[in-house]
Amino acid sequence: MIDQTVFNNKKAAYYTLGCKLNFAETSTIGKLLAEQGVRKVRPGEKADICVVNTCSVTELADKKCRQAIRRISKQHPGAFIVVTGCYAQLKPEEVSHIEGVDLVLGAEQKLEILQYLENLEKKEHGGTVIASQSKDIRSFSPSCSADDRTRHFLKVQDGCDYYCSYCTIPFARGRSRNGTIASMVEQAQEVALLHFGNKIYIRGLIEISNCCRNNCYYCGIRKGNPNIERYRLSRESILNCCKQGYELGFRTFVLQGGEDPALTNDQIEMTVARIRQEYPDCAITLSLGEKSREAYERFFRAGANRYLLRHETYNELHYRQLHPAEMSGKRRLQCLADLKEIGYQTGTGIMVGSPGQTVEHIIEDLLFIEKLRPEMIGIGPFLPHHDTPFAEYPSGTAEQTILLLSIFRLMHPSALIPATTALATLIPDGRERGILAGANVVMPNLSPREERRKYELYNDKASLGAESAEGLAALQKQLKTIGYEISTERGDFKYTTENI
C-alpha cells in the first residue's frame, strides 16, 4: 500500500540521458508520480524529488551521467535524488556513492518507483541500492513519452538476446521481450484523450460520383467494372445534402468521389464556392483524387479547407501491384506535396492488408507519413470487391488495422484520425474499437439514400444505421457506451509551434 501523504505538495524534476527508450520510460515515471499528486517543476523552481534516467553505452556516457547527477544535486539542494537506467543497473554501487544520490533502482525496479519511495529523507552515507541481476530482469513495462516531446516515443521491445562484445544492452536491460498489442492500444487511447478529451468530431460524407477514369485493381467503382450502376450528383443535390447536414449539426462536409472525367474543375470550383457562400462557418473537405496543382489552388481559393488523398503505399513496386501501368505512385506523392504547400489540411493513409503488402512496405509508409506530417491520417483495412481483380483476396485484419491506427496516434498525437467505415464494415464494433485505439473522427454518410448502395468501393459497405447522418442518435448511443460523445465543432487541426 503506497502512503500518498509522502507526496503531498511535492514537486519533481526529470532528467533523461541516452536513448529514446529512456525518454519513454522517464515520461512514464513522471506520469506515475503525477498520479500521486507530484507536480513537475516549472523553470526556476527547486524540486523535492529528482529522477535521473541514465545511459551506459560507453565509458564517456558513464562520465556524463556522473557529471549530470552532481550538477542536479547542486541545482536542487535537499532534493531526494533517484537514479535509474542502464548506468544504475550496471554499476549500482558506484552510482550510490555519488554525492547527493539517495536511491538507485535497477532495470527491473525503475517503473515500480512508487513502492520504493517510503520516505523522502536524504541519505547521509550513500544511496540505497535496489537492483536485480541481469539474468533476473524479466518484466516488460509499457512506456510512452507524453506531453514533453513533439513526437511520442513508444516502447515496443526491451532487452537483447545478442551478447555482442562491444554492447552493454543485454546486461543493462536483460533478455529480449516485448509488450502486448493491448498495452499499445491503451497508450494510444490515453494520448488521444490527452489531446482531444472524449470528443469525437463528425464529418458529413457526401459521395458525389461513383464514376472514375482509373482502373485500380482493388476498387469497386473502377472504370473497368461494367456491373456497377453509375451516378453523379447535381450541384443542387450536393447543396441539399449540406442543408440537411447543417440542420443535423454537421460543421464539416466531405465531398468524396471517383476521378470523374465529366466533373470538370470549373464545376468543382463552383460547387465549393456555393457551399462556402451558404455555410461560411463550415469546413469543406475534398477527396476527389489526383488533380493539377492549378486545380488544387482554384479549389482552395474557392473555399476548400482540407483534402484527403490516401497514397495507399509508398513502395513503387507495391504501388504497381495495386494499380495499372498508366498510374504513377510518384505522381500521387507529388499531389500530396502540392496540397501541403498550397495550405490545405492534408490527409493521406494506407490500406492495411492490401494484396502484396509486407511489413517492409508498412515501415516505408510509416516513415513517409512521418516525413509528410499530414494533418489527417486514414487507416482502414483492405476489403475485396466481387467485381475487381482482387475479388478472391482475403480482407485485411481488424487487429493489424487497430495496431497501426494506435501507432499513428502515438507518432502523430495531434492528427485527425477517423474510425473508418471500412473498419466498421469488417467487424461489428469496428468503429468503437477504432476510437478506443486513438481515432477521433467519424464520417456518417450524408449522401442521398438511393445512391449510397451504388458507391460500393468494397463488398457490403456500411452506409446505414450509425454509419448514416440520420443515425446520429444511434451513433451517440454507441459512443456513450464506451465513454465518448459527439462533437459538432468543425474540428480543425490545431497547429502549434511543435507540430508545424
> How far is 4 from 311, CA to CA, in rounded Å?
51
What phi, psi does 495 have (nearest 5°)?
-80, 140
Which has the minimum average pLDDT: 70-79, 333-342, 491-500? 491-500
Q: Is the pLDDT of residue 154 over 80?
A: no
Q: What is the CA radius of gyration of the chain?
A: 26
Confirm if 488 and 202 have CB atoms less than 8 A apart.
yes
Residue 493 neighbours by CB distance under 10 Å: 16
Residue closest to 478 by CA, chosen among 445, 439, 435: 435
d(C-alpha 118, C-alpha 136), whole Å: 24
Tell me the pLDDT tens digit for each residue of 316-356. Answer: 999 999 999 999 999 999 999 999 999 999 999 999 999 99
- What tens digit of pLDDT does each residue of 76-107 get? 999 999 999 999 999 999 999 999 999 999 99
Q: Going along 238-322, which residue ranges are E strands?
A: 252-257, 283-287, 306-308
Q: What is the DSSP string of 253-277?
A: EEEEE---TTS-HHHHHHHHHHHHH
Lowest average pLDDT, out of 56-60, 93-97, 280-284, 327-331, goes to 56-60
Q: Give the separation between CA 466 and CA 464, rounded to whole angstroms.
A: 6
Instruction: Give counts: helices (H), strands (E), the chain.
Output: 17, 17
298-311 tens-digit pLDDT:
999 999 999 999 99
Q: What tens digit of pLDDT does each residue of 459-483 get?
A: 988 766 667 777 899 999 999 999 9
